[in-house]
Amino acid sequence: MKHHHHFDLRTKGFIVSAAILLIVAAISVGLAVTNSGENKRLHAMDVKYRMIRQVYPQIAAWSDSSYYLNPEFAERETVKLEAQELVVKDAEVLLKQKQREAKEAENILKKLKKD
């Protein structure tokens, strides 16, 4: 007696359906993981904003009103202010570096004058 194993039309449909369900499940898990990370980030931002609102209510009110009046303008201004802050911080780092270099050069000059 021989056993023949083969796929008929009903079995092929079951396998294709199972593969599609597996792919959909994998995509769903991936989206859930991504959304979980985003939700953690949003929760942290919410807590930070609420803290600022408690300590500096006038600034929080200004921020709220500015955003609700014109969200696009508020975003552009925020990006501009952040870029300006980065430029200032870079300039401060460069200034400190140049001051250290000048101090080192001054020390070398004093040492050479002593010799």
Overall number of domains in the chain = 1
Judge whether 62 lies within some domain.
no
Domain-embedded: residue 56? no
**What is the rounded distance in angstroms from the CA atom of residue 82 to the CA atom of residue 97?**
23
- Identify the helix (H) or strand (E) that includes residue 94: helix 71-114
Is the distance from CB of 17 to CB of 9 less than 8 angstroms? no
Query: Would residue 91 count as lying in a domain?
Result: yes
Query: Taking the model in full, what pTM does it have?
Result: 0.52
Calpha distance 83→95 (Å, rounded): 18
As given in the structure block, the two tokens for residue 113 are 């004058």
- The predicted-structure confidence for 40-68, as pLDDT tens digits, reads as follows 999 999 999 999 999 999 999 999 999 99
Query: Residue 100 sits in which domain range?
Result: 72-115
